[in-house]
Structure 1
């Protein structure tokens, strides 16, 4: 789920940037500190979207910089367990497919792809269902449910697991084909008279 979060912090304005517009220097400092990080509370920080820098700063003895309070907003992506997501397959491996959801790749393990025996064709980069003949390749669009989230610590990017083995999930082309099939009508049972 994408979120817009408003935060407060104190940033250091280096002395070599004195004389430059405070808002621009402040935004550069906030971007440097926050953009691209993965945090357990914030999720994946994508961008700094707005910033207000207090024009009054503090000087700390021994440091030539000034320290200013800032209010800013961040665009983040926080994957939630059970959330339905759509993404593009960016890589196929013998153990599954990596699907790009938002700014991160999630693992769709072969056991979570479909109710079929799946083989991997390394030359073509294809996951193929034995009975259904359905195949998954790089570039396919997939709808899936998030089943596991582990946000990274100390610089790692975290891991996300997804499944497509539930109704209305899977490769979007498969879902369209399933909906286009004529529905099988069950024979009506005669009503009993009482």
Structure 2
């Protein structure tokens, strides 16, 4: 798989997590679709199979696995050679070449997201298609009160609060992306480093400086 950085998406999303990939895949064309425009069918089937899926990212030179990425959308699909008919199946197995925009989180990457849920053990942060966990011990250097009724954390001494809807800047400190389901994937986050935290806190600190 070839992987390219998409500078335009990086500027729009304020994140390095979106890339463009170039890869191949085999898709099955059902027999009931063979009477339609073949190129259109190939593209439609490829989108249904690949979009919203996690796929491996490998180093082209060494073959070393670099992790997984989540395919957001295909930007180009083309059939490679003739399809293969399997006896007793009826469908056509077609190799396709595709390019896609994908979400590719990496360890130690700093990203921005939104608090979507507050639990006793921490906050879930929406980053792209994933929800990462910001453990309560990784929120701030302060003792924390938990206000589940209002879905927020409050610093005992600083009185800083973190609640649902807040924008935050966090660092990825743990990644375990499941091949079976995005819901089973795990991303761990921290805000306890220089330059990280709730966006409002960072803006206030900049003004004070």
> TM-score, normalised on structure 1?
0.87
Question: Are the equivalent residues in 2 in contact too, given 1:39–1:151 (CA < 8 A)?
Answer: no
Moved more, 172-181 or 146-155: 146-155
Structure 1 40/6 Cα, relative in aligned 2: closer, same or farther at 3 Å?
closer
Question: Are the equivalent residues in 1 in contact too, given 2:134–2:189 (CA < 8 A)?
Answer: yes
Question: Are the equivalent residues in 2 in contact too, given 1:38–1:157 (CA < 8 A)?
Answer: no
Question: Are the equivalent residues in 2 in contact too, given 1:54–1:68 (CA < 8 A)?
Answer: yes
**Offset, 1:31:** 2.0
State the distance in 1 between where 2:161 and 2:46 align.
44
Q: Deviations over 1:30-73 (max 9, x none)?
A: 12222222244342222222101247323222222222221111
**Offset, 1:165:** 0.4
Which of 95, 109, 126 matches 1:100? Answer: 126
Structure 2 residue 181 is matched with structure 1 residue 170: no
Which of 105, 127, 130 matches 2:156? Answer: 130
Structure with max Cα Rg: 1
Aligned residue-pair number? 182
Question: Are the equivalent residues in 1 in contact too, given 2:71–2:100 (CA < 8 A)?
Answer: yes
Aligned to 2:184: 157
**Offset, 1:22:** 1.7
Q: Which has the higher helix share?
A: 2
Gaps in structure 2 of 5+ consecutive residues:
1-16, 58-67
Q: Deviations over 1:67-124 (max 9, x none)?
A: 2221111222121111000011111111111111111111111110110001111211
Which of 131, 138, 153 matches 1:112? Answer: 138
Question: Are the equivalent residues in 1 in contact too, given 2:27–2:49 (CA < 8 A)?
Answer: no
Please identify runs of 4+ aligned residues in structure 1 that moved more than 4 A: none
Structure 2 residue 49 is matched with structure 1 residue 22: no
Structure 2 residue 68 is matched with structure 1 residue 52: no
SS in 1 for 2:154: strand
Aligned to 2:48: 32
**Offset, 1:140:** 0.5
CA RMSD of aligned residues (A): 1.6
Which of 24, 37, 45 matches 1:8? Answer: 24
Structure 1 38/57 Cα, relative in aligned 2: closer, same or farther at 3 Å?
closer
Gaps in structure 1 of 5+ consecutive residues:
183-194
Aligned to 1:83: 109
